[in-house]
Amino acid sequence: MKKFTILISFIFIICCFSCQENLEESYTRKWGKFQTQLIENIKSFQKYEEFDEQRGDFKLVTFHSDSLKLKGLLNTKNIDSVTKKPVVVYLHGGFALSYNELEKTNPFTDAGFITFAPSYRGENGNPGYFELFMGEVQDAKAAINWISQQPYIDTNNIYVFGWSVGGGISLNLSLHDDIPVKISGSSAGIYDYDLIKAWATEDEMIIFPYDYKNNLENYFRLPIYNLKNMIRPHYTYIGEEDDYTFYKNLTDSLYPDSYYHLMLTKLKGNHVSSLEAAMDQFIRVINK
């Protein structure tokens, strides 16, 4: 029954959008022209700690997204004034960036990558409002473009990896053709209409910022319904205890006869415990 509901929702979303779709216009342009209508101007509900100018290897930096000045944490351990290095832009889970989560990104640092983790509008004391997969995607794009302009970055080797909510943003970015990303990946991060509806109607923690019943609002936030628009490979790793089978069946049912650039891999563990293995697997993909 759940799969049937998802398929019907998908048909509604696609039909709604196809009525006004310009086949000569890229998904990136359509996404950029869409203006979300927030029903709640709210900040992220997740508590956060203030960032220090420097804590260990992590340096506080700022970048601009639209007119907003946002914070990010740059791991300086592998920065070399002589040799340009590859970078992983790490998109955090949940709805606030924390030092605690960034300590888990050591696999990237140990493998020689510079890591940069942006925070988004409406969280961590940033200006703007919580938009849930819309403005945050724009902020991630701005962060990627910012780090690509730094003199210590190898611009031919920029990668994106996200966990949980950050994984959803990372998957969304795989549809955008205006960022210098080579490959993207995620640990979990596939979101469908039923989950969004549950967040909006059943989750007491989340004050939902937009009308979850609006098909266009969902169309541009939920990349699972747009995989035909992918322009680069994306690797999603999901723990077997984190509904891997459901998401594999969902993807197969939505695209039974289509080729797309999403690669799903099952890992041992749950939503949290599979994160380190997901990073290790993604590094192997990069190094092939």
Q: Give the CA-trace dihedral at 189, 220, 23, 159, to 10 degrees.
A: -40
| Closest to 173 measured CA to CA, from 245, 90, 104, 97 | 90
152 near 231, Cβ under 8 Å? Answer: no
CA distance to 24, 68, 131, 167, 171, per residue, from 191 (Å): 28, 27, 15, 9, 10
pTM: 0.92
Question: Residue 219 contacts by C-beta under 8 Å, 6 or more apart in sequence?
Answer: 13, 14, 16, 17, 225, 226
Question: Residue 206 contacts by C-beta under 8 Å, 6 or more apart in sequence?
Answer: 45, 199, 200
CA distance to 181, 236, 279, 287, per residue, from 153 (Å): 12, 25, 20, 17
Which residue ranges make up each domain of the chain? 55-188+232-244+256-286
109 near 283, Cβ under 8 Å? Answer: no
Digitized pLDDT (tens) for each residue of the chain, 288 residues in all:
444 454 555 555 555 554 444 556 899 999 999 999 999 999 999 999 999 999 999 999 999 999 999 999 999 999 998 999 999 999 999 999 999 999 999 999 999 999 999 999 999 999 999 999 999 999 999 999 999 999 999 999 999 999 999 999 999 999 999 999 999 999 999 999 999 999 999 988 888 999 999 999 999 999 999 999 999 999 999 999 999 999 999 999 999 887 778 999 999 999 999 999 999 999 999 999
Query: How high is the pLDDT of residue 4?
Result: 45
| Closest to 35 measured CA to CA, from 195, 279, 240, 214 | 214
Name the 3-class secondary structure at 262.
strand
Tokens at 107, concatenated:
């696999």
| Closest to 167 measured CA to CA, from 211, 110, 101 | 101
Q: Considering the domain 55-188+232-244+256-286 in this protein, what is its CATH number? A: 3.40.50.1820
Query: How high is the pLDDT of residue 15?
Result: 52
Name the 3-class secondary structure at 23.
coil
Phi then psi for residue 159, to 5 deg, are -125, 155
227 near 205, Cβ under 8 Å? Answer: no
